[in-house]
């Protein structure tokens, strides 16, 4: 540590620091001459001290700035960054395999692990043919710090000239197409002007562009329109109906597309002061203008200079010509198909009124569906005979079913084309069946809603459960007897299955589909017999070991 202090700069006292600081201030203010280096050049007194002072290991005598300049002995010669060198070029192709070459393609410049050729089933080392050429490994130039980090190093600017030539050719073609488009537009404009009726009409519409449009603030110099406020005499749309759920009102665009006066729906929209903007948008020539706008947009995307607002006449004429050509093209295609395949006679369809069976007869119905005015429409009959009864029957064959056979409902006869014997014979024939099959009592009353029937059924089920629970509390022995009976049945069933070799796990699918739901006693018996593996006392036994 003592040697390092002796080699470094001498230590200054506090008085020396004060004098040096006063001298620096005087030099900065110009009262004292500037400090000079070893070459007699003045040193700017405003240079910071950490730049002006030289490192202690240089051992410089006196003030100097040499340590801030590039030293001649440290300057190295580097290559120019604009120097071109070959990259990735192919060299000669070998005729036989060389030691140390790639076993896949046969090139000497890389190994198999670095080979970029397609992996061969049998490499060039064993086939001795189809050797790939050796890559050119360029000798990298000697570069400085910036040159090593220059991503354009070795780039040939001649390739960029080819790109500029390609773009210039494209621009020339675009200019030619634009010139042709302008010539076509000029021709169409001249044809449009030649079709004008008279010069008086031209003078009438000559200064239309400079006129002010009602309801807008139009500035001819600025070429822009500003949406004006609504007319003060008109009622605001949101005041037509103050119900918040009537129609949505957008205050930003002042639009209410739905009709807020739905209570007056029986009136015609033309009789109302406001019936919604959707009604206005679908009336008049709105649809035609929408078609024109779509045509203008499509034409502009395809390169035509068409704008509906700037040149409405030109857009209308082009759309008319386009529609005409489109219809002609469709007709040509359909005619060519008919001429090739035939079938022209099938294209002559009857009028739409006859196809839909619509007439001009006026018929008015009531709310219940009865006819108030006019005649009821005749229901068309089928090609089959209807309501034809034979052999004295009052019903058709197939209206009665018994024992897998159809018959007549009026007499119960099961043989077709049999004579009717009256209702007495049907009653006698049905007597055994009626006795064997009593009519069900749980008929569903279709005149009442299903929710009421379901609620009544749930109430009845709760009453039965409460009644049974009350009986079990009053007579617990009966419940125990029922439980013992169910347990005995389970034991007998398990013993029978065990004797027959049946396994519950191998039971067939839907084998118990006819079984009814379990009762409360069966559920309690199943819980008692259920084995709980998590129960620590499941395997407990009182027997002594």
Does residue 366 have a pLDDT over 80? yes
Write the CB contacts of 299 (distance below 8 Å, at least 6 apart in sequence): 306, 318
- Ranking 50-59, 315-324, 523-532 by mean pLDDT, the lowest is 523-532
pLDDT at 205: 47
Cα(86)–Cα(154) distance, integer angstroms:
8
Tokens, residue 231? 């007319």
Percentage of the chain exceeding pLDDT 70 = 78
CB hemisphere CA count around 192 (13 angstroms): 15
Does residue 230 have a pLDDT over 70? no
Judge whether 73 and 26 are in contact, CB under 8 Å: no
Q: pLDDT tens digits for 486-508? A: 888 888 888 887 777 777 677 77
- Ranking 68-82, 434-448, 513-527 by mean pLDDT, the lowest is 434-448
- Ranking 96-105, 139-148, 317-326, 332-341 by mean pLDDT, the lowest is 139-148
Q: What is the DSSP letter of 112?
A: G
Does residue 120 have a pLDDT over 90? yes
Does residue 394 have a pLDDT over 50? yes
The residue-averaged pLDDT of 365-377 equals 80
For the chain, the average pLDDT equals: 79
pLDDT at 433: 46
pLDDT grade, residue 510 (50/70/90)?
A: low
Judge whether 489 and 525 are in contact, CB under 8 Å: no
Q: pLDDT tens digits for 140-163? A: 788 888 888 988 888 888 888 999
**Angle ∠(266,234,215) on CA atoms, nearest 5:** 120
């Amino acid at each position: 540590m003592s040697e390092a202090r002796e080699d470094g700069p001498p230590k200054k006292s506090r008085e020396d620091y004060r004098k040096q600081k006063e001298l620096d201030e005087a030099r900065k203010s110009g009262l004292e001459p500037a400090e000079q280096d070893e070459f007699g050049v003045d040193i700017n007194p405003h240079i910071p001290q950490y730049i002006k002072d030289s490192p202690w290991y240089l051992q410089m005598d006196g003030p100097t700035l040499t340590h801030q300049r590039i030293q001649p002995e440290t300057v190295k010669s580097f290559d120019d960054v604009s120097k071109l060198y070959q990259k990735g070029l192919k060299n000669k192709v070998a005729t036989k395999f060389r030691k140390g070459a790639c076993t896949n393609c046969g090139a000497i410049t890389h190994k198999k692990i670095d080979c970029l050729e397609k992996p061969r089933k049998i490499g060039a080392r064993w086939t001795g043919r189809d050797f790939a050429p050796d890559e050119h490994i360029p000798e990298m130039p000697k570069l400085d710090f910036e040159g090593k980090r220059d991503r354009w190093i070795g780039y040939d600017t001649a390739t960029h000239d080819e790109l500029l030539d390609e773009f210039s050719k494209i621009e020339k073609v675009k200019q030619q197409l634009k010139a042709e488009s302008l010539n076509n537009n000029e021709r169409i404009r001249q044809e449009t002007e030649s079709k004008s009726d008279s010069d008086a009409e031209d003078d009438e519409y000559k200064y239309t562009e400079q006129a002010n449009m009602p309801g807008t603030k139009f500035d001819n110099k600025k070429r822009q329109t500003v949406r004006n406020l609504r007319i003060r005499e008109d009622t605001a749309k949101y005041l037509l109906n103050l119900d918040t759920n009537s129609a949505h009102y957008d205050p930003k665009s002042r639009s209410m597309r739905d009709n807020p006066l739905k209570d007056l729906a029986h009136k015609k929209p033309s009789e109302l002061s406001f019936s919604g903007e959707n009604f206005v948008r679908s009336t008049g020539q709105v649809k035609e203008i929408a078609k024109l706008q779509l045509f203008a947009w499509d034409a502009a995307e395809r390169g035509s200079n068409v704008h509906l607002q700037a040149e409405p006449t030109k857009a209308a004429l082009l759309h008319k010509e386009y529609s005409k050509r489109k219809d002609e093209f469709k007709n040509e295609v359909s005619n060519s198909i008919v001429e090739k395949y035939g079938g022209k006679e099938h294209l002559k369809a009857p009028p739409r009124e006859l196809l839909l069976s619509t007439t001009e007869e006026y018929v008015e119905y009531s709310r219940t569906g009865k006819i108030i005015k006019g005649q009821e429409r005749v229901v068309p009959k089928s090609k089959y005979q209807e309501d034809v009864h034979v052999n004295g029957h009052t019903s058709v064959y197939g209206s009665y079913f018994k024992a897998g056979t159809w018959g007549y409902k009026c007499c119960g006869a099961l043989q077709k084309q049999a004579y009717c014997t009256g209702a007495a014979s049907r009653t006698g024939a049905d007597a055994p069946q009626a006795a064997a099959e009593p009519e069900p009592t749980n008929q569903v009353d279709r005149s009442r809603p299903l929710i009421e029937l379901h609620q009544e059924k749930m109430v009845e089920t709760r009453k039965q459960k409460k009644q049974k629970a009350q009986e079990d509390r009053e007579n617990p022995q009966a419940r125990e007897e029922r439980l013992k009976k169910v347990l005995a049945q389970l034991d007998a069933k398990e013993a029978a299955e065990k004797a027959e070799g049946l396994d519950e796990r191998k039971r067939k699918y839907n084998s118990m589909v006819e079984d009814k739901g379990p009762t409360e006693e069966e559920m309690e018996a199943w819980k008692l017999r259920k084995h709980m593996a998590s129960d620590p006392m499941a395997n407990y036994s009182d027997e002594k070991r």
